[in-house]
Amino acid sequence: MERILNKVRGNGTLPARPGLWQILNGLIGGALGIGLVATLAELQHLPLLMAPFGATCVLLFAAPDTPLAQPRNVIGGHLVSSLVGLLFLKYVGTSPLEMGLAVGLAIALMQLTRTLHAPAGADPLVVLMAGKASWGFLIAPVLVSAVLLVLIALVVNNVGQGKQWPRYWM
């Protein structure tokens, strides 16, 4: 029993608190990213926002050096996962079991295509729970918003000496 408790407790220490500039990068990037996407959505009367984009901002602006925060992963992950959601909505179904299968398939396909992006794992649920998304959903909100967030990250994450983002594109 003690061995199990030790595994559950873990044996590591907390990571260091990020520096002030990294915290400000997260604050400014997240505010600009979601603020711009929300403003464009309102001005153009387009549904450009979906909840996973908030989590995308966490990766883009608070952990920009991780593989999950690279443009390929952000854009590709959202496209792959949303496509899975649309395919299930149109051809498979929306039951709890099908929701689970859609998320599992989205994860597997993101791994297979090397576009793993954790927030995109929720995209099939967004599609299936809305229940009325069309194929155009892949363009707006998915592609347009993911590209906008990456472009904002390109600016925000490169302000200051010695900063270079992204680590890779393709």
The H or E element containing residue 35 is helix 20-44
* Phi, psi dihedrals of residue 165, rounded to the nearest 5°: -135, 140
Return the amino acid letter for 109: L
| Per-residue pLDDT reduced to its tens digit, 88-118 | 999 999 999 999 999 999 999 999 999 999 9
Taking only the tens place, the pLDDT of each residue in 137-153 is 999 999 999 999 999 99
* DSSP classification of residue 89: I
**Quick check: is 115 in a domain?**
yes
Q: Is the dihedral of CA 110, 113, 133, 146 positive or negative?
A: positive
Q: How far is CA 28 from the centre of its chain?
A: 17
Domain span holding position 46: 21-156
The label of the residue with tokens 């680590």 reads: 167
The DSSP result for 118-159, as a single string, is GGGGGHHHHHHHH----GGGGIIIIIHHHHHHHHHHHHHTT-
Count of domains for the chain: 1
CA 111/CA 15 separation, integer angstroms = 26
DSSP one-letter code for 17: P
Question: Is residue 62 domain-resident?
Answer: yes
Determine, yes or no, domain membership for 45. Answer: yes
Quick check: is 112 in a domain?
Answer: yes
Q: Which of 157, 148, 141, 160 is nearest to 59 (CA)?
A: 157
- The span from the CA of 142 to the CA of 94, in Å, is 20
Percent of the chain clearing pLDDT 90 (strictly above): 86
3 within some domain: no
Any domain includes 142 = yes
In this structure, is residue 15 part of a structural domain? no
32 is a domain residue:
yes
Residue at 143: amino acid letter: L
> In terms of pTM, does the model score above 0.85?
yes
Q: How confident is the model at residue 73 (pLDDT cuts 50, 70, 90)?
A: very high
pLDDT (0 to 100) of residue 9 = 77
